[in-house]
Amino acid sequence: MSDTLALARKRLSTAATAWFFTAAAGQWAFIAFIVLYFTPPLLHGDPLAMNSKPHISGWVPGDNAGNLQFVMHVFLGALVTLSGLVQLVPAIRRRWPAVHRWNGRLFMVTALVASLTGFYLTWVRGSQLNLPSALSTSLNSALILVFVALAWRNAWQRDFAAHRRNALRAWVLVNGVWFLRIGIIIAGLALAPLGASFSYDGVVFLGVSFASWIVPLALLQLYLVAERSTRPALPHAVAVLFYALAVLTAAGGAAAAAFMWWPYL
């Protein structure tokens, strides 16, 4: 490997790490909000208080099955986000491989159950804004099931290179809900100077809904191609892109925390 290529790959890795830290900060804020907002009403026996923040359908008196799925989905979302962050820390994988393996199992099982509860809420309970956005969410969840199954099979076959790729794809898709919130904030801020308002039944929201998992998945694929490229230009270019994405993610994560989560605490 030439020195130029080695430098390009190092810069790509550093840029990806910078983006991961900004994403991790935003996801920690997301986890903190879920715990701080949803836990007190359950502990105090006042689950209707969870509806003080608008939901498509939150706690519905008398709907025991739907309420159980709702609560499971919310807290499993926090758990799978936390587990995914732990799984991506290289030091844990190197120093405590057993922790990495067992946390990986936790991540996969939690992702599967969270996806299934999401299907129930969308198609059985009817928690959907409109059909196109419901289809987007369900396609996201279906792909989570696919890539979790592939990652599990790769690990069983000890094909760790394929396992890493498919586990990363599952991680990106699991965070589609978080990317959606970042996308909504960024789209809203971009429309404001134009005098346009963000509508949940408008074409912009539908575009953000699909982009929230398609774009991150495409960017991950670009990164995977770049890190194996033998031409320095590609990893250099993708490194610049990921530094820009780190800035955008930091801004979007901070705005989501400030406008979508913390006002309800």
Q: Tens digits of per-residue pLDDT, 33-80?
A: 999 999 999 999 999 999 988 878 889 999 999 999 999 999 999 999
Number of alpha carbons in the 13 Å side-chain half-sphere of residue 55 = 21
pLDDT value of residue 1: 64
pLDDT of residue 141: 95
Question: Which pLDDT does position 216 carry in this prediction?
Answer: 97
* DSSP category for residue 158: T
Residue 247's CB: how many other CB atoms inside 10 A? 12
Cα separation of 172 and 214, whole Å?
10
Residue 225 in this model has a pLDDT that exceeds 90: yes
Taking CA atoms, 160 is separated from 12, 99, 164, 169, 247, in Å, by 21, 16, 6, 14, 31
| pLDDT band per the 50, 70, 90 thresholds, residue 177 | very high
Q: 76: closest CA among 43, 45, 121?
A: 121
For the chain, the domain total comes to: 1
Can you tell me the mean pLDDT for 203-221?
A: 94
Which residues constitute the domain of residue 20? 3-264
